[in-house]
Amino acid sequence: MFTVDQDGAGGRIDVELTRRTGFSRSHVAAAMRAGGAAVNGEVAKPSRILEPGDEVTYTIDPPRVLEVYPQELPLDIVFEDETLLVVNKAAGMVTHPAHGAVDNTLVNALLAHTGMLPGEPLRGGLVHRLDRDTSGLLVVAKTEAALTTLGRAMQKRYIEREYRGIVVGHPREYEGTIRGAIGRDSHNRLKYAIRSDGKPSVTHFTLRKKLVDTTELTFRLETGRTHQIRVHMAALGYPIYNDPIYGKLDPRASLPGQALHAWHLAFKHPVTKERLAFQADPPPGYLATLEALEP
């Protein structure tokens, strides 16, 4: 509990509680939305502006410390040796633990399979990631040296990644390139958007098949920003079909979320330098959706 003085007045309560607790502002705001703070005896919103003499009481528990542990979960392993493995991730599976998804992730399954992974524990072995509802191919390092080499190859754009996706509408061009810097949406922390202060992002697309009110495209990434294809296509006016964040869900879809699948992956082996290339057909839900949208 504390009383607001002249120096503390005029600011938002979530900012003041962030300063006092040392927790993240998002964590403080979430606790407040659950009734974790009150001003003069009344539950306060995160945006409440403090005034001199306000009596503030709060109970904000520390964020849960995330841990990762092995879990026996189904894994579709496309390739594996002593250095790396390539896995075909299922739609609906989170890639690594985070607040809101602390278990049943790909990393949990990988730990059960390998016993140990290099790098940061919560993202052990991951060279790149896929959104929860995006299915497809991922390369995972099994050694520190492989993680470093493959990570550098990803930064230098030496790793080829192609996706198949269904978009709403029919793009006027059969192929094109979208260049738009991507950063977090200032109005919604769950979304990303094209922003002048964002990170450079480039997506190439090519027509694969015209469908009823929709189109299947092939996407090739030059960069790998969070939600990149989804943000770029939504900005172009053709959001990914069944995307719950950048578009809307369609009851005809046999998918948990966006119709997007990482179908092609190619790179040089970090030890042998042999070029490895892999392809994975889209999962049954994607193919059933595609069939339902056929002319």
Q: Which residues are catalytic?
A: 131
As beta bridge partners, residue 130 has none
DSSP 8-state assignment for residue 126: B
Residues in the chain: 295
Summarize the chain as % helix, strand, coil (round to 5).
Answer: 20, 30, 50
CA distance 200 to 236: 16
**130: nearest Cα among 96, 156, 102:** 96
CA distance 11 to 58: 17
b/e map 166-178, b = 16+ CB within 10 Å: bbbeebeeeeeeb
Query: Which stretches of 60-155 are assigned E, i.e. beta strand?
Result: 77-80, 84-89, 135-141
With 0-12 / 13-18 / 19 or more C-beta atoms within 10 angstroms meaning exposed / middle / buried, residue 284 is exposed
DSSP 8-state assignment for residue 3: E
What three-state secondary structure class fits 57?
strand
Place of tokens 């006092």: 20
DSSP 8-state assignment for residue 38: E
Category of 238 on φ-ψ map: left (φ > 0), alpha (ψ -120 to 50) or beta: beta
Contacts of 188 (CB under 8 A, 6+ apart): none
